[in-house]
Amino acid sequence: MSVALLELRNVSILRGGGLAVDNLDLSVSAGEIVALLGLNGAGKSSLLRSIMGLEPLEAGSIRFRDRDLGPLETAGRARLGIGYCPEGRRLFPGMSVLDTLHAASRATARERDRRIEEITRLFPLLDHILEQECWRLSGGQQQVVAIARALMSDPDVLLLDEPSLGLAPVICQELFPTIRRLADRGNGVLLAEQSLTHALSVADRVAVLHRGRLVLDAPVGDVSHDRLKHLLLSEGEHG
C-alpha cells in the first residue's frame, strides 16, 4: 500500500460563523488522483485553501510527508512541494504567459527554462501562446496556464479547484487526460470538482463532501454512478 504524501486528520474549518468542513480525514498518495466532489458550498474550496494556509483550521492537522504544516505560511508549503491552482484561474491579465510562468518560480533562470520545457511537453499548446498576454487567451488556454503556473515549483502534490468550471466539453476532454498523466508520472492530485463525469474519468478514489462532512471515501470502482449522484444531491443525513 502506498504511503500518503498528504494527510488531513480531524480537520474542521470555520467560515461565515459555521463549519465549512467538519471533522474530516483524507489522504492523497503519490501517483493518485483523489476526486473531491460536492455541490457549491460543500466545503471543497475551503479545504484546498486551508491546505495551502490561506484559511485557518478550527481543529485538526494537515501533514505533508509526515510534517505538520501548521507552523508554515503559504509560501513555505509551496516550497515543500504543494502546488495550487485556484478556482477562477486568477491570472494577471496584462502579463504574458512566459512572464507568468517565470514569476511562479524562485529557481535560477536556467532551471525555470528547463521546467517550462517540461511543462510544454505536457501541455503542447503552451508553446504557441508563451508570448501572448493572458487576457487574450481563451478560457481553456487560461486554465492550462493556471495549472502550468502551479507546476512551476515541481510540486509533489497538486491541488486543483474546479478546473472544468466554465470550459467547453471539448476542452475538458483534452485537459483531464493531461491531469491523469500528471498522476501517472508520480504526482499526487487532489481534484475538487462538481462535474461527476470529468472527475470519474481520471480519479483513483472519490471523496464526497456534503455540507462540510465527508460522506464517502472509496476507490472509484467500488461505488456506482447512481450512488454518487444520490450522495451529492441528497438533503438528508448520511451514515
- Residue from 33, 29, 64 nearest 50 by CA: 64
Task: Read off the C-alpha cell for 15.
Answer: 467560515
Task: Read off the C-alpha cell for 196.
Answer: 461527476
* 63 plus 128 within the same structural domain: no
pLDDT at 235: 46
pLDDT at 195: 87
pLDDT at 236: 41
DSSP, residue by residue, 81-147: TEEEE-TT----TTSBHHHHHHHT--S-HHHHHHHHHHHHHHSGGGGGTTTSBGGGS-HHHHHHHHH
Q: What is the mean pLDDT of residues 49-75?
A: 95
Q: Between 230 and 60, where is the model more confident? A: 60
From the centroid of its chain, how far is CA 143? 12
pLDDT mean across residues, the chain: 91
* 160 plus 68 within the same structural domain: yes
pLDDT at 233: 80
CATH code, domain with 38? 3.40.50.300
Boundary of a domain, candidates 125, 154, 183: 154
State the Cα–Cα distance between residues 26 and 21, nearest whole angstrom.
12
* 183 plus 213 within the same structural domain: yes
* 136 plus 198 within the same structural domain: no
pLDDT at 237: 42
- pTM for the full predicted model: 0.91
User: 216 is in which domain, residue-wise?
Assistant: 1-81+155-239
Q: Is the model's pLDDT at 1 over the cut of 60?
A: no
pLDDT at 229: 87
Boundary of a domain, candidates 122, 154, 186: 154
- Report pLDDT digits (tens) over 100-153: 999 988 889 999 999 999 999 999 889 899 999 998 888 888 989 999 999 999
Q: Between 189 and 195, where is the model more confident? A: 189
DSSP bridge partners of 191: 35, 160
- Report pLDDT digits (tens) over 3-45: 789 999 999 999 887 899 999 999 999 999 999 999 888 899 9
State the Cα–Cα distance between residues 22 and 109, nearest whole angstrom.
43
Q: What is the mean pLDDT of residues 79-89?
A: 89
Boundary of a domain, candidates 128, 154, 180: 154
